[in-house]
Amino acid sequence: MKDRSPRLAKTLPAKILAALDEQTVIVPGTVEFGRVIAGVAAQLSAVHTERDALGKDLEGRLEAHPLAEVLTSMPGVGLRTAITWLTIVGDGSAFPTAGHLAAYAGLAPVTRKSGSSIRGETRSQRGNHALKSALFLSAFASLGEPASRVYYDRKRAEGKRHNAALICLARRRVDVLLAMIRTRTTYQPPAPTPTPQNAQAA
């Protein structure tokens, strides 16, 4: 509680204990349930400890990987996204193009058809869900970066909803990530687009 609410941590536990001391109702099986809860709490604590240890191990393995610096140089790509990418995609050699990788991740739009008519495009429900989720969350985390924000805002201006715009951004980032991996180069922000004012000043 101290980490999330230091002020409440000073007063709430004492209030809870005082309220428990005032209880007069005796529930059958309280002692037995207490043992069960204590056992579950111990198991949960062990799971958290193991998760933390595994996280540190994976972080160490990532730091030693030759592609770690390349991947994490991309805005929005952190430990989890980089590990997911390396686990599923690796060096990208299994995918002839970025389009193939986007389709595998479920980021490529699917054309809706009914008989002989075409009804536009929709998001794919297929693909590798773990990879898609990682790339989607990474795109969301990158919105603080100017180039990502500009692209996202443009898609929103075209009428796309928030999630659809993020899917488009994630798809675009697949192109960049795969190119970075194949050339072993870190992320380079795109040059700003010249504006009429900048052109006149030049």
* Residue-level pLDDT, tens digit, the chain, 202 residues: 778 888 888 889 899 889 888 887 777 777 788 888 889 999 999 998 888 888 787 777 778 888 989 999 999 999 889 999 998 999 999 999 999 999 999 987 655 555 544 444 445 567 889 999 999 999 999 999 999 999 999 999 999 999 999 999 999 999 999 999 999 999 988 776 655 555 454 4
The DSSP output letter for 179 is H
Calpha distance 75→101 (Å, rounded): 20
Residue 136: closest CA among 101, 165, 179: 165
In this prediction, residue 199 carries a pLDDT of 47
In this prediction, residue 110 carries a pLDDT of 57
Q: Which two tokens stand for residue 157?
A: 């201006």
In this prediction, residue 119 carries a pLDDT of 47
Any idea where the domains of the chain sit in the sequence? 11-62, 66-183
Amino acid letter, 147: A
* Residue 162, SS3 per DSSP: helix
Cβ atoms of 80 and 88 within 8 Å: the answer is no
HSE (side-chain half, CA atoms, 13 Å) at 118: 4
Calpha distance 141→198 (Å, rounded): 30
In this prediction, residue 174 carries a pLDDT of 95
In this prediction, residue 192 carries a pLDDT of 66
Q: Which two tokens stand for residue 38?
A: 């204590």
